[in-house]
Chain A
Amino acid sequence: AQKVTQAQTEISVVEKEDVTLDCVYETRDTTYYLFWYKQPPSGELVFLIRRNSFDEQNEISGRYSWNFQKSTSSFNFTITASQVVDSAVYFCALIEWNYGGSQGNLIFGKGTKLSVKP
């Protein structure tokens, strides 16, 4: 069955610590896209990254990095030197191109709430 699992419901770290948010997915499709979104307290989800199933290159953007491994069906997200402003709920999501992907049917995990304390 197609689904996204974020096993960590809540993580608490102290500022400047590195933190990794786990995401494991299951899909029936060979063409799929993976996403990470951030939901700050204001409630508005903010797009962070999109990867397609044919591109396993890891990506780094400032303090953020993503590790995509098809062999383990994982798409983990690491924040280096965390800051208080990173506190939010982070969602991993999957879109299956041949199963509703053309209709924007994002399958979300249940999210990981990250609290960064000063």
Chain B
Amino acid sequence: GAGVSQSPSNKVTEKGKDVELRCDPISGHTALYWYRQSLGQGLEFLIYFQGNSAPDKSGLPSDRFSAERTGGSVSTLTIQRTQQEDSAVYLCASSLEMTGTTGELFFGEGSRLTVL
């Protein structure tokens, strides 16, 4: 697609339920990133994929969070047993190359998660 697409754009769920957030990166972008934007907390790096591989998962806030990427394209961020502190906007970004070299990140509009 023309840009990074995320779904759902808004999700309201009850505490304890599982949620899945989807990211469809720009076609041809090999790198994919998940960030979380919480009110008053700024943007927090969660995880990075190069192809289907996530070399470092230490940015994920807890073991309730997991992410996968298949076919070098779509990625899913799953939050199990959601808690109220998980409420945030989850932003996905993609790039042609790793950000430290020549690429810049292209962000989606985010998925706003509200846990009641």
Contacts and interface: CB of A to CB of B under 8 A. Distances in A.
Interface of A: 33, 35, 37, 42-47, 50, 91, 93, 95, 97, 100-111
Nearest to B50: A103
Nearest to A31: B100
Chain B interface size band reads 20 to 34
Interface of B: 3, 31, 33, 35, 40-45, 48, 55-56, 59, 89, 91, 93, 95, 98-100, 104-110
A103 B107 contact: no
Contact of B99 (A44, A91, A106, A109): A106
Given A47-B104, A110-B42, A111-B42, A33 B99 contact: yes
| Most B CB within 10 A of own CB, among A37, A43, A101, A103 | A103
A95 B91 CA distance: 18
B89 A97 contact: no
B24 to A, nearest CB: 14
Contacts of B110: 43-44
Nearest to A96: B100
B45 A106 contact: yes
A21 to B, nearest CB: 15
Contact of A50 (B45, B104, B107): B104
B108 to A, nearest CB: 6
Contacts of B108: 44
| Most B CB within 10 A of own CB, among A91, A100, A102, A104 | A104
A47 B104 CA distance: 7
B109 A101 contact: no
A45 B92 CA distance: 10
Contact of A46 (B33, B98, B107): B107
B43 A104 contact: no
